[in-house]
Structure 1
Amino acid sequence: MSESTPQSSPSTTTSEADSLLAVLERNRRTFAWKTSGLDESGLRATTAASSMTLGGLIKHVALVEADWLAVKLAGREHGAPWDSVDFDADPDWEWRTGALDSPDDVYALWRAAVDRSRELVSEVIAERGIDGPASFTWPNGRTPSVRDMLLDMIEEYARHTGHADILREAVDGCVGENAPKDFTL
């Protein structure tokens, strides 16, 4: 009988913000791994009755990075390409065009959104702390905290990584739970 190595417990000196950011980064890394290395046909593939594609999913998550962390958390503009899109006229623009974009373009857009988010989240945490307010208020008058925003972003990645699991397996049979620790975005 082999002895299993115990899981290391989180450090008691790690801040809550560091813990939340570590979980977000793990989710980003797993999402990147699930969607990496595909050509145009892989990024355009659908499965079952869904019209969702990995290309559309990647571009959607890039939009969520901009909307949730740049705009709603940090109070900045969406930036390109989002600020030139009429989402009222084409509400599924990122899903539709993400399925048509080249792999290089869709991956680059997502990576740029993640890089921007990392920078802005770091600034916001330094300025406001984890309990500080986001830069928007819900219609009910409640302003979420930085913590709330990070938890919602973690949930967004967790949900969409599940979608990526199904789509990726349908494309080339790639399955697995987590990205290898040495996998980089």
Structure 2
Amino acid sequence: MTIERADPAYSNDEVGMLRSFLDRYRATIRLQASGLTDAQLDQTLPPSDLTLGGMVKHLAFVEDYWFSYHLRAEEPAPPWDTAPWDDDPDWDWHSAAGASHAELDALLAAAIARSDACLDAALADGPELDRPVARPRDPGKGATATVRWVLVHMVEEYCRHAGHADLIRQSIDGATDV
């Protein structure tokens, strides 16, 4: 598995800049989980119960949730469509326990590919980032995210978890420059 982590260009249009930062942090998370055994993906850094495996699966869910479900108003993809969310609101994190690196990485890679296709479709008529998403999150409150909000939120989501991943990875094998 070869994961490219490119530096974003210093000059780009808004869509290109946001996408390049999102792609960099997507690659960062995948690299943090690479090279570890399946058992190491289940390791925590107490007192937190976060694991790198859970983080990879959570980010696969977040990709589908924002790009497929909200941006394009598509129904959830497997395994999210049958997940027991009522029994465990953190099912995405917890259900990763025991999963292999190959399985988790493939889930995230597929979610990223679907997300990119959804974003490409949403931007096909022009790079209008102020366009509202197809499925409002809080329709009763009048709150509707825009394409820009989704992109910025996803950069924020990955950056926040990249910091967690740095700490967990270092606690597992001492790696600090993955």
Normalised TM-score (structure 2)? 0.88
Measured in 2, the distance between the counterparts of 1:92 and 1:59 equals 11
* 2:120 counterpart letter in structure 1: S
Does structure 2 conserve the Cα–Cα contact (< 8 Å) formed by 1:47 and 1:167? Answer: yes
Measured in 2, the distance between the counterparts of 1:155 and 1:41 equals 28
Structure 1 vs Structure 2 CA RMSD = 1.9
Measured in 2, the distance between the counterparts of 1:156 and 1:91 equals 18
**Match in the other structure for 2:81:** 83
For 1:31-180, list aligned pairs within 5 A.
Answer: 31-127=29-125, 129-137=128-136, 138=138, 139-176=140-177
Indicate yes or no: 2:43 matched with 1:10.
no
**Match in the other structure for 1:182:** none
Does structure 1 conserve the Cα–Cα contact (< 8 Å) formed by 2:57 and 2:104? Answer: yes
Report how many residues are paired. 169
Does structure 2 conserve the Cα–Cα contact (< 8 Å) formed by 1:65 and 1:114? Answer: yes
Q: 1:136 offset after TM fit, Å?
A: 2.4
Measured in 2, the distance between the counterparts of 1:144 and 1:9 equals 26
**Match in the other structure for 2:5:** none
Which residues of structure 1 form unaligned runs of 5+?
1-7, 180-185
CA-to-aligned-CA distance 1:64-114 (integer Å, 9 cap, x gap): 001011111121111111101120112221111112211111111111101
Greater relative CO (CA pairs within 8 A, separation 6+): 1
Q: 1:9 offset after TM fit, Å?
A: 6.9
* 1:93 counterpart letter in structure 2: W
Task: Pick closer, same or farther for the CA change 1:32–1:141 going to 2, 3 Å.
Answer: same
Q: 1:168 offset after TM fit, Å?
A: 0.3
Measured in 2, the distance between the counterparts of 1:74 and 1:82 equals 16
Percent of aligned pairs with the same amino acid: 38
**Match in the other structure for 1:29:** 27
Greater Cα offset, 119-128 or 144-153:
119-128
Q: 1:142 offset after TM fit, Å?
A: 2.1
Specify the SS of the correspondent of 1:131.
coil
Measured in 2, the distance between the counterparts of 1:170 and 1:55 equals 14
